[in-house]
Amino acid sequence: MTIDERQALIEQYKAGYDEVVESLRGLSEDELSAHPIEGKWSAREIVHHLADSESTSAIRLRKLFVEDQPQIQGYDEAEFARRLKYNERPIAPALAAFHAARETTAQILPLLSDEDFSREGTHTESGRYTIEDWLRIYAAHAHNHAAQIRRLREALKRQ
């Protein structure tokens, strides 16, 4: 990965929270919980997923940066959604957690050297896992979910 590619991914990562907030703008409480696309999460569930996922990703980056050859633990996202009752909880605290995880992690990214980006551990589900891998995944993560929320909005309009 070139320095310019890395910087573009960092900027994409930093913009993720705002992209999600914009995708949610104007949704009612009922619309947040609606499932207009069968088998897909509601907007509310997506926000809670982002809070948990971003908190997890923040720890993953720190472990990769600080520890030698850390184990990066996977988790069952669907089970989190079910057991943590994502569709029954207000989103404001989840948005705050998502924002805080992104902001504090964005502060760390400029501290990393070229060499640091190649630091690696082992992900329990996908094997070798570097900081560059982490950045590729999480730069796009929030944007992908914002696009998912926009698809939900469109499906709600068609109903």
Residue 134 has what pLDDT? Answer: 96
Per-residue model confidence (pLDDT) at position 9: 97
> What pLDDT is stored for residue 74 in this prediction?
94
Question: With 0-12 CB in 10 A as exposed, 13-18 as middle and 19+ as buried, what is 86?
Answer: buried
pLDDT in tens, 89-138: 999 999 999 999 999 999 999 999 999 999 999 999 999 999 999 999 99
Would the pLDDT of 155 be above 90? Answer: yes
**29-61: pLDDT as tens digits:** 999 999 999 999 999 999 999 999 999 999 999
Measure the N-to-C terminal CA separation of the chain; round to a whole number of Å. Answer: 44
How would you classify residue 53: left for phi > 0, otherwise alpha for psi between -120 and 50, otherwise beta?
Answer: alpha
Torsion from C-alpha of 100, 105, 108, 112, nearest 10 degrees = -170
- pLDDT computed for residue 121 by the predictor: 97
Please give the C-alpha separations between residue 43 and each of 10, 25, 50, 92, in angstroms, as whole numbers.
25, 11, 11, 13
What residues are paired with 128 via a beta bridge? 122
Q: Please report the pLDDT score of residue 75 as a whole number.
A: 93
What mean pLDDT comes out for the span 17-24? 98
Predicted pLDDT at 122: 97
Which domains are seen in the chain, by residue range?
A: 3-158 (1.20.120.450)
Residue 1 has pLDDT above 90, yes or no: no
Determine the pLDDT at residue 159: 82
Q: What is the pLDDT of residue 156?
A: 93
- Residue 129 phi/psi, 5-degree rounding, is -145, 115
Residue 110 pLDDT: 92
